[in-house]
Structure 1
Amino acid sequence: MSGTSFKALGNKVYEEYTDGIKVYLESTDDEYIVGRKWFPHLKDKISFESVSDVRANGGCQLVRKKVKESKANNKKSFGIVDRDILLADPLFRDSLWWQIDNDIFTSTKPYEEGDIFVLHYWELENYLLHPKALESLLSDKKLAKNSAFSESTIAGLLFQHENDLVAVTLLSTISAQQALDQAPIGFGLDNFGDELTEKVRNKLHISMKVSEIERQKIKNFAEDESNALIRWNKLSRILDGKRIIQRIDRLFSGKDRADCKVSLTSERGALAGYIASHKLIEPNLVKWIESIYNSTNSALSRG
C-alpha cells in the first residue's frame, strides 16, 4: 500500500484504513495554510483535516481529543496546535510556555507523546509575519519593489514599535495567568508608547512593577539580538499574533505610507505562499512532518 493515494480510497475506506496518515489542525485556515500552501506535495500521502470550520477558542483541545480518540481505536493520527495552548495549561504556563531555547522546547513533547506538534510561535499567524514575506506582499500590491518596504526596512519598523507590540501582548499573557476576561483584540489600537502602556496597565489593574516584570519576560525572547531581522524572528515567537497583526496593518498605512493600505488578516493565504516560496517554513515543523510520513510509510512497507 506504500505510495497509495489516500484520497483515492474514498471516505469510508479511509476511515477503516488504520495506517493512513491524518494530521488534525485547529481550523480550516490552518488546514489551508499547512496542507495547501506549505505541504501540497504531500496531499496524496497525508490527510490534513480541520477540527473546526472556524478558528475558535478550544480548537487545540479538539485536536488533542481527536488524536486521543484515534489512539483509543487503535488508529494512528497526529495534530498541530498553536503555542498558546501552553499559556492556557496550568501544567506548562509557568514553565514550557516561557522556554526560549528552541531545542529544549522541541524535545519536551508535552502532549500525546509527541504525536502533537506544538508550534514554536504563539499561533500560525505569527509565522506569516516574516519581513521577507511582508516585503513580497507589499511589492506585489504596488507592482514594484520599494525601499520603504524592503525586508530590512520592515524589520527596522517592527523593532521601532517593539514596545507597543509587547504591551498589547500583556493583555493576553496576564489575563490568562490571572483568569481574567480577554480584552478585545483591537484594544488600544489608537494608542502608542507610554499612553498605550498606561492604558494596558489600567485595563489589567496591575502596577508598573508587575507590568515591567511581564514585559521583560517577553523581551527575553529577543535574546539581546541587535540585528533587527533576527531579533524580530526571535521575539515574535511569544507575541500575540492576532493583536500584533492589527497593529502592523496600522504601521503600514501610516502617514508616510498612505499609499500602501493592506489588511494582513485577509492576506494570510498570500503570505503563506510567500513563506513557502522563500523556504521560510519552520524547520522543526518540516522535520516533524517528514518524520511521521517516513515512520508511517516504513511501517506500511514492513506490513
Structure 2
Amino acid sequence: MSSFKGIAPDFIDSKYEGGIKVFLESTEDVRIFSDHWFSHYQDKISFESAEDGSNKGGGGCNAVLRKVKEAENQQLTAYGIVDRDKLLGDDDKQDIFWETDDVKFHASSPYGQNIHVLRRWEMENYLLKPEAFRAELQCRSSNPPEISTGTLLNHEDDLIKLTAFSTVLAKKSISAPDEGFGRAYSGESLHTALNNYLSSSKITLESSEFSKDINQISAFTNNEENPDMRWDKLSRILDGKRALYKFCSIFHREYKLGGFQFVNEVKGCLANRIASKRELLDEELCTTIERFAESR
C-alpha cells in the first residue's frame, strides 16, 4: 500500500486518486468553474480554492502559486489560474501586464508553465458579455431595454478612468476603496469622486502617472472601430469588478430593474447565461482547462 507519510493533507486525495488539482483564487471562482462552466471535467479535475482566509501577502493569487509549488515538491499534478492584475503587484512583471498582444502575453509564462495567467484582468471580465446581460435583462423584465455592445461602450471613458484609478493605486501600494466605489458616478462627477479619494495621497487624475496608465489602457483597443471587437479588446484590461458594479448600478438605477443591486447574485446569473450559450465562453479558458485535463 502506498504511504501518505509526508504528503500535505490538501494533496492526499490527489495522491490516492491520481487526479488533477486546479487551484483558483477564491471559492467564488471555484463555483463558476466547477458548477457553471466546466462540470463535465469533474472526473478528471478537482477545482479548489487556494484561499486561506487571511487575505495577506496579496490574497488568493499568492496562495495559488504556493499551493502549486507545494504540489510540485511532492511530485503531484497541480495547476493554478491567477488573475492578470497579479502582475501589477510584481515590479519586474508590470511590462507583461501591459502587453496588448495575447500571443506574446501567454508566451511570457511569468510564473511557469503550470500557472495560467488570465489574459483578462480577473474572473469578472469573462462575465462582461453583452449577450449575457441581454439574456438576463429579458428574464427580469417584460419590457427590457435593448442592450448591445454599444451600450457597454457608451461607458468606455468612465471604465478606463476607474481602471487607471485601480492600476495607480496598486502600483503605489495605496489602499483601494471597495469594489463598488464610483459606480453611481459618471463624467465629471466620477472625476471629482476619484480625486477626492486620492487627495490624502497627494496625487490626482491630472498627474502624469494617470495619463500614462489611461493611454496604456486605451492602447488595448488599438483604434478598433468594430464595436464587438473593440469591447472584446478593451474588456481584457478593465478592472472587472468595478466594471460589473458599474453596469449593475446602471441597470438597477437607470432602468429600474430589480435584483441588480445584488452583484454577487448577478455573477452567478451571468455565468449561467454564458454556460447556456457555450460560444460565449472564452476560448482561452476552454483551451486551458482542456490542456490541464489532458496532462493526466
TM-score with structure 1 setting the length: 0.84
Match of residue 4 from structure 1: none
Aligned to 1:75, the other structure's residue is in SS state coil
Within 5 Å, give how 1:255-294 maps onto structure 2.
255=254, 257-259=255-257, 262=260, 263-279=262-278, 280-294=280-294
Output the CA distance in 2 between the equivalents of 1:145 and 1:217: 39
Match of 2:190 among 193, 196, 203: 196
Aligned to 1:63, the other structure's residue is in SS state helix
Whether the aligned pair in 1 keeps the contact of 2:65 and 2:115 (CA below 8 Å) is yes
Within 5 Å, give how 1:16-165 maps onto structure 2.
16-17=15-16, 19-52=18-51, 56=55, 57-93=58-94, 95-111=95-111, 113-142=112-141, 144=142, 146=144, 148-150=145-147, 152=148, 155-165=149-159
Letter in 2 for 1:269: G
How far residue 175 of structure 1 moved from its aligned partner, in angstroms, is 0.8
Output the CA distance in 2 between the equivalents of 1:55 and 1:270: 28
Match of residue 208 from structure 1: 206
Aligned to 1:30, the other structure's residue is in SS state helix
How far residue 12 of structure 1 moved from its aligned partner, in angstroms, is 8.6
225-234 vs 35-44, greater mean Cα deviation: 225-234
TM-score with structure 2 setting the length: 0.86
Distance 1:34 1:166, change over 3 A: same
Letter in 2 for 1:121: R
Tell me, yes or no, if structure 1 residue 182 matches structure 2 residue 176. yes
How far residue 53 of structure 1 moved from its aligned partner, in angstroms, is 7.0
Output the CA distance in 1 between the equivalents of 2:157 and 2:232: 15
44-53 vs 203-212, greater mean Cα deviation: 203-212
Letter in 2 for 1:258: K
Match of residue 242 from structure 2: 243
How far residue 184 of structure 1 moved from its aligned partner, in angstroms, is 3.1
Aligned to 1:114, the other structure's residue is in SS state coil
Deviations 1:185-206 (A, max 9, x none): 3333333212322432453313
Distance 1:258 1:65, change over 3 A: same
What RMSD, in angstroms, separates the aligned Cα atoms of the two structures?
2.3
How far residue 265 of structure 1 moved from its aligned partner, in angstroms, is 2.9
Whether the aligned pair in 1 keeps the contact of 2:81 and 2:116 (CA below 8 Å) is yes
280-289 vs 179-188, greater mean Cα deviation: 179-188
Aligned to 1:78, the other structure's residue is in SS state strand
How far residue 261 of structure 1 moved from its aligned partner, in angstroms, is 5.0
Output the CA distance in 1 between the equivalents of 2:250 and 2:53: 27
Match of residue 167 from structure 2: 173
Whether the aligned pair in 2 keeps the contact of 1:27 and 1:54 (CA below 8 Å) is no
Letter in 2 for 1:188: G
Distance 1:118 1:145, change over 3 A: farther
Could you tell me the percent identity over the aligned residues? Answer: 37
How many residues align? The count is 278
196-205 vs 67-76, greater mean Cα deviation: 196-205
| Alignment gaps of 5+ in structure 1 | 1-10, 297-303
Deviations 1:187-235 (A, max 9, x none): 3333321232243245331362523322121111122122223212211
Output the CA distance in 2 between the equivalents of 1:90 and 1:196: 29
50-59 vs 284-293, greater mean Cα deviation: 50-59
Distance 1:24 1:156, change over 3 A: same
198-207 vs 284-293, greater mean Cα deviation: 198-207
How far residue 77 of structure 1 moved from its aligned partner, in angstroms, is 0.5
Whether the aligned pair in 2 keeps the contact of 1:18 and 1:76 (CA below 8 Å) is no
Output the CA distance in 2 between the equivalents of 1:261 and 1:15: 40
Whether the aligned pair in 1 keeps the contact of 2:221 and 2:233 (CA below 8 Å) is yes
